[in-house]
Amino acid sequence: MESIINRIDKNQFWKFHGGIHPPEQKFITENKPIRTLPLPKELILPLQQHIGQAGDLLVSVGDTVLKGQPLTSSAHPMAVPIHAPTSGKITAIKDSTIAHPSALKEPCLFIEPDGNDTWVKRNICNDYTKQSDSDLLQKISDAGISGMGGAGFPTYVKANTSAKIEFLIINAAECEPYITADDLLMKEHSPTIVDGINILHQIIKPENVLIGIEDNKPAAIKALQNATKNLDHIRVCIIPTKYPSGGEKQLIQILTGKEIPSGAIPSSQGIVMQNTATCFAIADAVINDIPLIRRVTTVTGLGLNKPQNVWALLGTPVNFLLEQCELHPHDKQRIIMGGPMMGFTLPSGNVPVVKITNCVLAPSAKEISDESTEVECIRCGQCADVCPAQLLPQELQWSAKAKDHQQLETLNLFDCIECGACAYVCPSHIPLVHYYRIGKAEIREHKQQEIKADKAKIRFEARKLRLERDKKAREEKQRKAAEARKAKMNSGTVEANNEMSAVAAALARVKAKKAQTSDTTSQDSTTEAAAKPKNPQIAAAIARAKAKKLANQVTDNSDITAEVDKTVEAKVENETPTENTADDKKSKVAAAIAKAKAKKLAKEQADEKTDVQNEITEETAVNDVSEADSKKAKIAATIAKAKAKKLAKEQVDEKTDDQNEIKEETTVNDVSEADSKKAKIAATIAKAKAKKLAKEQVDEKTDDQNEIIEETSVNDVSEADSKKAKIAATIAKAKAKKLAKEQEAEKSDNSQPDVEDTKAAEKKKRIAEAVAKAKAKKQQRLELN
């Protein structure tokens, strides 16, 4: 530490690597005092003029604002407000080209000055030394001050460092050619700058304050030395002129010999650097309560008749400055904001002066020619010699051209400060910095994409995990629910018993049927009679149709047909009540169809080729049913019925077993497709089968099939659906009737009508019916629950 100060006191400085000596061209404006310009017709204020965040608007179009009035505010730590540079009216808030190399459009406030330049109320502070640090910082922040050297970092953030600061360095190097803004400011306002430095000193409390100034500004050096004569802690360090000694890292190296590690900020090494113009703005803000609304801008270049330094209000369009300085443009005139080394060209003159605009350069065609044909790199290495970051520009260039991003990063592309020294000296006129910018942008973009891809991947995996978790949870829930149900059923409570009885009832029903078949009973005509009155019209129509049919069939066909017709009749009669609950019309249609089919079938049976055909129809039924569609469903229902009849006949032949099995499968499939319409179909099918089965019981192969049917009915019941439940009930009833009849029909030969048995059967039947109804109700209740 001491040695650093000793060296500085001996005027011995360190050297940074490389550097160049471009023509300074400061003579154009260095002797021209800072001129105050008349008010422009319009001011354009970009909402964001610094690194960080834009503030929120405080005003709207049409508002009248006073000079110094804040226009934005923000609680964000990286945001500083902007202020009205003069009094006037806000005419528009819209996107406009901002002072940025990209020439992007960003939100800007347009102010039409009223010419009065009326100030808001200001609080002049006579003695800043009595102010607290936080008050001072607040003032600096409220005044909207951000670094005025080029980067535009909010000043109060830099000043509000908690690190122990050895050196506060004031950057007065102004190393870029042409620019004399800081030079003139120091010549004319050194005492104010020193006030600003003292304010910073008070806040940051550094051990030493170093002002780094290049030796090409003797007048400014003198002015600063005079202003700091009595201040021992401030040292004016006169450093040799070399570009880019005004770079933050370079100036730190020159003055202290320290290097700022890549990626670190100077305060990590106990150093804070501020620009002279920033110091002036701080003093103005703290002492005079003048926010940052103007700055010194050098308007220079041999393309101007009157190059000069001006006090430019922020927001002044560059056109206005060029008019004031009398630009005489040539073809391919370029207007550069900033210096010739690091400045950027403006697309138009409508771009405003902002907080970082220290220079507007309008060179003549001779000064800066646009002719620079790039030729091949000859690896002369001059670029590497001048690079202040000690990079290897020519290797970077090759990698940038080859888009070898990995190699670019290995070569530390991101340590390039884009000072332009390499491109300046390149004998092959390769726009090296341009290649680096492209390379950097590509790498950044690439990284962004990688980050996005990573995020997407993480999101995807999280989703997958979540779905799996949900699935497991669902399964678990279902499993538990099932267990709970079982437990409940076995628990022996009333409810459980009820539930169990539902299942038991279904089983009981089936058993009842079986029992009926084993008990030989006579026909119970009353059952049929009881069923009939429910639908007298239909029944009548059916009866008529049947009568006709029978008449025909009797003439045509054999005994078998007659038998078939009987069964058909029985079936139709049985069906009617069932369908009744659903829809009268449908039931009529179905009945008609059934009849028609019955006739057909009767004929077919006359031929002896029915088996094959039956099989085909069965297949059709399977296909039809699987296609969930109301029309088809209806058709299927009728087909099913028809088949039922057919099958009944086939039972007469002894080949029915296989076919029945197929049918049963069909019904199982049907049932598994949960859909109310289908359910209806299933019901009808079930009915049909029930009839069939009843007949089959006559043969002695029925046991297995019955079991299957039982399953079917159980399935029906288990499909919680009130309609189905009803259907099931009716089915059960129908079956009961059927069974009764069948028992009578088939076993009439060996039956000695046992009245008591018949009665018992009747009772059983009724019980079964009641049980079925009860089940249906229960089912409904369960559903409601």
Which of positions 81-140 make contact with another protein (CB under 8 A)?
103
Q: Residue 492: how many CB atoms within 10 A of its CB? A: 9
Q: Let me know: does 715 contact 668? Beta carbons within 8 Å.
A: yes
**How far is residue 79 from each of residues 141, 277, 352, 472, 660, measured CA to CA in Å?**
9, 20, 20, 49, 84
CB of 344 to another protein, least distance (A): 6
Interacting residues with another protein between 393 and 422 (CB under 8 A): 394-395, 407, 410-412, 415, 418, 420-421
CA–CA distance, 283 with 389 (Å, rounded to integer): 34
Instruction: Give me the residue label for tokens 């091949």.
Output: 376
- Among the listed ranges 383-391, 632-640, 702-710, 728-736, the one in contact with another protein (CB under 8 A) is 383-391
- Cβ proximity to another protein: between 372 and 497 the closer is 372
Which residues are registered as beta bridge partners of 20?
A: 243
- Cβ proximity to another protein: between 2 and 376 the closer is 376
Interacting residues with another protein between 320 and 339 (CB under 8 A): 329, 332-336, 338
Of 269, 330, 272, which Cα lies nearest the Cα of 301?
A: 330
Q: Residue 248: how many CB atoms within 10 A of its CB? A: 21
**How many residues contact another protein, by CB under 8 A?**
74
Q: Which residue from 6, 116, 262, 537 is in contact with another protein, where contact means CB under 8 A?
A: 262
Q: Is beta strand 105-113 parallel, antiparallel or unpaired with respect to 88-97?
A: antiparallel
Interacting residues with another protein between 419 and 448 (CB under 8 A): 420-421, 423-429, 431, 433-434, 437
CB of 217 to another protein, least distance (A): 20
373 touches another protein by CB under 8 A: yes
3-state secondary structure of 441: helix
DSSP state of 85: S
368 touches another protein by CB under 8 A: yes
Q: Which residue from 2, 376, 700, 756 is in contact with another protein, where contact means CB under 8 A?
A: 376
The one-letter amino acid code at 207 reads E
For the chain, give the longest Cα–Cα distance. 143
In sequence order, what DSSP letters do the residues of 164-175 get, joined into one string? --SEEEEE----
What does the per-residue mask of binding to another protein show for 187-226, with x meaning CB under 8 A? ----------------------------------------
249 touches another protein by CB under 8 A: yes
CB of 346 to another protein, least distance (A): 6
CB of 302 to another protein, least distance (A): 12
- Cβ proximity to another protein: between 259 and 476 the closer is 259
Q: Let me know: does 320 contact 40? Beta carbons within 8 Å.
A: yes
Q: Residue 266: how many CB atoms within 10 A of its CB? A: 22
Token pair of 236, please? Answer: 């004016």
CA–CA distance, 228 with 620 (Å, rounded to integer): 108
CB of 99 to another protein, least distance (A): 13
- Cβ proximity to another protein: between 22 and 315 the closer is 22
CB of 333 to another protein, least distance (A): 6
270 touches another protein by CB under 8 A: no
CB of 110 to another protein, least distance (A): 20
- Cβ proximity to another protein: between 365 and 543 the closer is 365
- Cβ proximity to another protein: between 125 and 342 the closer is 342
22 touches another protein by CB under 8 A: yes
Q: Residue 476: how many CB atoms within 10 A of its CB? A: 10
Rounded CA Rg of the chain: 50
CA–CA distance, 496 with 488 (Å, rounded to integer): 6
CB of 349 to another protein, least distance (A): 7
305 touches another protein by CB under 8 A: no
Of 129, 45, 113, 119, which Cα lies nearest the Cα of 81?
A: 45
What does the per-residue mask of binding to another protein show for 573-602, with x meaning CB under 8 A? ------------------------------
Q: Which residue from 340, 352, 439, 577 is in contact with another protein, where contact means CB under 8 A?
A: 340
CA–CA distance, 688 with 674 (Å, rounded to integer): 20
CB of 138 to another protein, least distance (A): 34
CA–CA distance, 274 with 159 (Å, rounded to integer): 9
- Cβ proximity to another protein: between 138 and 372 the closer is 372
CA–CA distance, 615 with 613 (Å, rounded to integer): 5
- Cβ proximity to another protein: between 336 and 400 the closer is 336
- Cβ proximity to another protein: between 356 and 433 the closer is 433
Angle, nearest 10°, between helix axes 722-746 and 755-784?
170
Q: Which residue from 6, 116, 134, 345 is in contact with another protein, where contact means CB under 8 A?
A: 345
- Cβ proximity to another protein: between 406 and 752 the closer is 406
Q: Let me know: does 716 contact 671? Beta carbons within 8 Å.
A: yes
Q: Let me know: does 591 contact 575? Beta carbons within 8 Å.
A: yes
CB of 289 to another protein, least distance (A): 37
CB of 35 to another protein, least distance (A): 24
299 touches another protein by CB under 8 A: no
CB of 275 to another protein, least distance (A): 20
Token pair of 322, please? Answer: 């060029």
Of 27, 24, 50, 28, which Cα lies nearest the Cα of 295?
A: 50
Interacting residues with another protein between 700 and 729 (CB under 8 A): none
